[in-house]
Amino acid sequence: MTPDDEIPAVWAGHINMDTDQLRASADFFLEVGMRPVFENETRVILELRAGTHLVLIQVEDFQPGPVSFDLMVEDLDATHARFTDAGLNPGPIGNVPAHRAFDLTEPAGNTVTVFDSHNTEFPV
């Protein structure tokens, strides 16, 4: 792959997150900006940009905490304002290495970090 190629050949397919509040977690991430793909009693699949899927998995023995993935947005300030207006209670925006970011805690208590984008000038 070279920088002159149109888009990268691979992307993240599925990321998983456990929850003990499947419907509330799904509604939260729909409000964040994901699309519904699939739902049953134990799983909800939501689509992110580039076709990546967030798989929410209902579990009974659940310990919330930081998730193993993060989210990235084009305009961090506008996204923070939108999430605030929607009542999602984002944390304050801060500086981290190579980014600005804030944390977002979903109804089951999982925390995801939302970063500003630093994509290259090439199509993604």
Q: Which domain holds residue 94?
A: 14-116
**Quick check: is 25 in a domain?**
yes
Mean pLDDT of 37-51: 96
Does the pLDDT at position 119 exceed 70? no
Strand (E) or helix (H) holding 87: none
Mean pLDDT of all residues in the chain? Answer: 92
State the Cα–Cα distance between residues 97 and 101, nearest whole angstrom.
10
DSSP state of 107: T
Q: How many structural domains compose the chain?
A: 1
pLDDT digits (tens, 9 = 90+) for 5-20: 677 778 889 999 999 9
Mean pLDDT of 49-63: 94
**Quick check: is 55 in a domain?**
yes
Does the pLDDT at position 1 exceed 60? no
pTM for the whole structure: 0.89
Mean pLDDT of 94-104: 94
**Quick check: is 1 in a domain?**
no
**Quick check: is 59 in a domain?**
yes
91: domain CATH number is: 3.10.180.10
Altogether, the residues listed in the chain come to a count of 124
